[in-house]
Structure 1
Amino acid sequence: MPASGENEELQHRAWLAAASVPDPEVPCVTVADLGILRSVEIVDGIAIAKVTPTYSGCPAVLAIELAVEAALRDAGFEARVERVVSPAWTTDWITPEGREKLRDYGIAPPQKTSTSIRSLFGEVEVACPRCGSADTEKLSEFGSTACKAHYRCLACREPFDYFKCI
């Protein structure tokens, strides 16, 4: 059994490997940026990553789990991924860095109010990720993926996706 400091170093290395996996649907952010990588522990020499799906019907869940497992194996670990469904993921778990990466990529990040009645029923003010204007309109409840809505900025006239609050 490795010493405590050695185990912490292994755990940190394993976390970095798993955390570097990009989201397959939104590759500008990693699973860590999205907050879906819950933890990585070393147990009996096995790196165990715990991942929470963004929502139960997300088609990328298996791809993400396989990519995290592959990243851990590529980093030299025997690996296993466990799906954790409770508590359910919320867009509030997206890191500040992840929100900035979304904005830089041209996707308006979700408001940090997933428990707000206003955000749950689509009554949010969505700022354009390109020019910052709040003068925007929703074109479609669904954008390029089910977790995004499609908007247009009325100031710069550019279309963009908004990562919906969950």
Structure 2
Amino acid sequence: MSAAAVVPPEQILQWLQAVPDPEIPVLSVLDLGVVRGVEWEGETCVVTITPTYSGCPAMREIAQDIEGVLRGHGVTSTRVQTRLAPAWTTDWMTERGRRALAEYGIAPPAERAVDVSGIARRADRPAVACPLCGSLDTRLVSGFGSTSCKALYRCGACREPFDYFKTH
């Protein structure tokens, strides 16, 4: 792609909406909040990503998928760079992503990780709504669910277990 044909970052972001999170495929990397920026350095499209945690094994696959989607749209010179700071937070998830999690059967984060003053907060146990029936009659079964970023809950109303995407 020549410099005259540089695609606006907004268009790149629209294309990246098609890149799913490898662990939760109903979420795009945009809805998860992993993509932190798109810019051009000359004729190279640079996409900055922040992993959900520093040792996330899915980042290589996400980078390859980003490069593949951009190549499919004619962007042949790309670089995906990882930025660890600031650390990823569930606050970066989009509302569309939160809805997709719930529809998939995973309760989205029940609170913000950082309050409006910028101070990180942690509730001992937030009220977590069951993504299957909506009841707040839920209880923590295990601090870890199917992945380290999730906890396992059980609903007292519908009796079903479900994952909760922990606030962090």
| TM score, norm. by length of structure 2 | 0.88
**Residue matched to 2:164:** 162
**Residue matched to 2:129:** 127
RMSD: 1.5
Comparing both structures, which one devotes a greater share of its residues to helix? 1
**Residue matched to 2:112:** 113
Give, in angstroms, the shift of residue 113 of structure 1.
2.0
Aligned ranges 1:5-154 → 2 under 5 Å:
7=6, 9-77=7-75, 78-114=77-113, 115-118=120-123, 122-154=124-156
Q: Which runs of 4+ in 1 moved over 6 A?
A: none
Matched-pair contact (CA < 8 Å) for 1:19–1:37: no
Quick one: which amino acid aligns to residue 117 of structure 1? R
Matched-pair contact (CA < 8 Å) for 1:91–1:112: no
Give, in angstroms, the shift of residue 112 of structure 1.
3.1
Identity in percent: 48
For these two proteins, the number of residue pairs brought into alignment is: 159
Runs (5+) with no aligned partner, structure 2: 114-119
Runs (5+) with no aligned partner, structure 1: none
Hey, what's the Cα distance between the residues in 1 that align with 2:161 and 2:92? 26
Give, in angstroms, the shift of residue 18 of structure 1.
2.3
Hey, what's the Cα distance between the residues in 2 that align with 1:154 and 1:60? 34
Quick one: which amino acid aligns to residue 93 of structure 2? I
Hey, what's the Cα distance between the residues in 1 that align with 2:17 and 2:49? 11
